[in-house]
Homo-oligomer: A and B are copies of this chain.
Amino acid sequence: MEEAQAQSKNALKKAEKQAKMAAAKAEKAAKTLPVVGAKKANDSKEIIGITVSKAENFPLWYQELVLKAELVEYYSEISGFYILRPPAMYIWNAIRKFFQEKIEDMGIEETNFPMFLSSRSLEKEKEHVEGFAPELAWVTKAGDKDLEVPVAVRPTSEAVMYPYYRKWIRSHRDLPFRLNQWNNVVRWEAKQTTPFIRTREFLWQEGHTAHLTEELAAKEVLEILDLYAAVYNELLAVPVVRGKKTENEKFAGALWTSTCESYIPANGRGIQGATSHALGQNFSKMFDISVEDPEKKQDKIHVWQNSWGLSTRAIGVMVMLHGDDKGLVIPPRISKLQAILIPVGLTAKTTPEERTKLLTQLDELKATLKKAKVRADVDTRDNYSPGYKFADWELKGVPLRLEFGPKDAAQSVVSYARRDTGAKGTIPIADLATQVPELLETIQKDMYNKADESFKSHRLVLREWEKVVPALDSRNVVLIPFCEEPSCEERIKDLTKSDEQEPGPDGQKQPTMGMKSLCIPFDQPDIIIANETKCLNPECGRFAKSWTMFGRSY
């Protein structure tokens, strides 16, 4: 049996064990999921809900959730790979469409480079490649013949693309030169993988641009960062903190890296959302990408380059942040299904005519919603009870449940239940086309606001070193005055390891890691007084350069 399969099975076994131990709870869960027509549906014998509590064992909860909500399937053939199922692809495509439109407006064009790079091209830019070398997947054979020169699957495409930038950029008139591609990359991680968050293959977009001046390049770095923040804020309802990475955490070969950092309340971890890098002239000098200076003819200017990427990890962050013990909670704007209509109140006494009438009315409600641009459907499955359906759609995270039965029909209303808060109410049928879209927008905003408040209240500004570890142990990230020295950052990581036990990615308890810098936020919480404010690390003694956000992290 392959590692991934074992991993998946282990996770589920443990989850089942836990479920048994919490017997009362499981029993209750089973009761809320009455199964009708078990003979008809093979899968109706299983408990469809999540059996692990988010609060009790976050990693196991997450693994069970992404499987049961059908976002991913473990790829049992090869460890560390996952199949992205339709609900996940829907979200990714929503992100893609949003981002693609914005960068198209900026004049960035699409390209597609080969997925392989030759071992020779790697030799050119060793500094950058060193970081990726242990994770490169090497093709050494085609059919039964050995390749003369092995080729690696791209872990990112700087080395693949920039030789052509040299060829294509021949004059300052070609600048800015801006290409983006949507593709798959492979990083054969040795660390334990987690669906979406850390996987050996993932989908992303990678933008690679070249500019005449440092200022123009820097402007774009931040424009793109704002788009990434918009993907998180506006689509995924995930708040982020924008900032700069420290030297230790910046991209290999970049001048500086900007980042969106988010936060998972369930375990207090920071998580990197997306990064936009100012590469400076590092690569343009390596690959000799230059133009004639338009001001001083004959002078050669090496172009200023950027690269920036957003991956399917974003889906994982959203799931971790919003999901609950009933399953996914998907923000309305990116949910394939925004409202699910469920027939209720049908009993053994209901006549076939009454039944048909109700289903016809439900179809009309669906048509009304579709006209109002609400992505709606009716759950007409006749082999499941309403209770089972409620649980099923809650598991899948549909933002709004609309119940409709003879009683609702008599009053010309639809009963609703919000997935995010559980709040219930009724909407007059006459107002469906206006109130449902409004309610969906309210859910979207409430989800963001709730997450934002949580992040704000767990981003502690600390002025005393003694408070750091307790703050981390209480699932906070911290903002501290920091000297920005790499060696000090390493030391801080060691100093903040804790004996506190928490479940690791495999669900097993393990000592918690030390904190890493997440970013130097652009929005600083307070002033750093030059040559006065000290770095918070008590062993350091240097002056602080900034308030830096640290945290245990993914």
Binding site for B on A (CB under 8 A): 2, 40-43, 73, 75-78, 81-86, 88-90, 92-93, 109-118, 120-121, 133-144, 150-151, 153, 160, 163-164, 167-168, 170-171, 173, 179, 183-184, 186, 188, 190, 201, 203, 381, 383
Given A77-B121, A117-B77, A184-B183, the answer on whether A143 and B133 have CB atoms closer than 8 Å is yes
Residues of B within 8 A of A140 (CB): 138-141
A179 touches B143 (CB 8 A): no
12 A-B pairs with C-beta separation under 8 A: A43-B170, A43-B171, A78-B114, A78-B151, A83-B164, A89-B109, A90-B110, A115-B184, A135-B142, A136-B143, A141-B150, A184-B184
B142 touches A137 (CB 8 A): yes
A171 closest partner in B (C-beta): B42
CA–CA, A73 and B164, complex, Å? 8
Residues of B within 8 A of A179 (CB): 86
Residues of B within 8 A of A2 (CB): 118
CA–CA, A184 and B82, complex, Å? 17
A100 closest partner in B (C-beta): B93
A121 closest partner in B (C-beta): B77
Query: A162 to nearest B CB, angstroms?
Result: 12
Query: A336 to nearest B CB, angstroms?
Result: 9
Query: A78 to nearest B CB, angstroms?
Result: 6
A80 closest partner in B (C-beta): B114
A116 touches B171 (CB 8 A): no
CA–CA, A111 and B42, complex, Å? 24
A136 closest partner in B (C-beta): B143
Residues of B within 8 A of A201 (CB): 114-116
CA–CA, A140 and B152, complex, Å? 11
CA–CA, A134 and B150, complex, Å? 17
Query: A525 to nearest B CB, angstroms?
Result: 40
Residues of B within 8 A of A85 (CB): 111
Within 8 Å by CB of A173, from B41, B75, B84, B188, lies B41
Within 8 Å by CB of A84, from B93, B112, B142, lies B112
Query: A435 to nearest B CB, angstroms?
Result: 27
Within 8 Å by CB of A41, from B77, B89, B160, B171, lies B171
Given A140-B141, A143-B136, A173-B41, the answer on whether A86 and B114 have CB atoms closer than 8 Å is no
B111 touches A89 (CB 8 A): yes
CA–CA, A111 and B86, complex, Å? 5
Given A42-B171, A116-B81, the answer on whether A143 and B188 have CB atoms closer than 8 Å is yes
Within 8 Å by CB of A114, from B42, B83, B92, B135, lies B83
Given A77-B121, A173-B41, the answer on whether A110 and B139 have CB atoms closer than 8 Å is no
Please give me the 4 A-B residue pairs with the lowest Cβ-Cβ distance, nearest first: A86-B109, A142-B188, A134-B143, A84-B112
Given A137-B142, A139-B139, the answer on whether A83 and B110 have CB atoms closer than 8 Å is no
Residues of B within 8 A of A170 (CB): 42-43
B134 touches A83 (CB 8 A): no
A92 closest partner in B (C-beta): B112
CA–CA, A163 and B190, complex, Å? 26
Interface-centre pick from A73, A77, A138 (highest chain B CB count, 10 A): A77
Residues of B within 8 A of A89 (CB): 109-112
Residues of B within 8 A of A136 (CB): 142-143
Query: A540 to nearest B CB, angstroms?
Result: 35
Residues of B within 8 A of A110 (CB): 86, 89-90, 93
CA–CA, A179 and B419, complex, Å? 28
Query: A297 to nearest B CB, angstroms?
Result: 9
B138 touches A134 (CB 8 A): no
Known: A138-B142, A173-B383. 11 other contacts (CB 8 A): A73-B167, A77-B118, A77-B160, A77-B163, A78-B118, A81-B114, A83-B111, A84-B112, A112-B203, A116-B201, A142-B188
A187 closest partner in B (C-beta): B142
A82 touches B114 (CB 8 A): yes
Given A41-B171, A77-B120, the answer on whether A111 and B84 have CB atoms closer than 8 Å is yes
CA–CA, A332 and B89, complex, Å? 31
A112 closest partner in B (C-beta): B84
A109 closest partner in B (C-beta): B86
Given A135-B143, A138-B139, the answer on whether A83 and B113 have CB atoms closer than 8 Å is yes
Query: A465 to nearest B CB, angstroms?
Result: 38
Residues of B within 8 A of A86 (CB): 109-111, 179
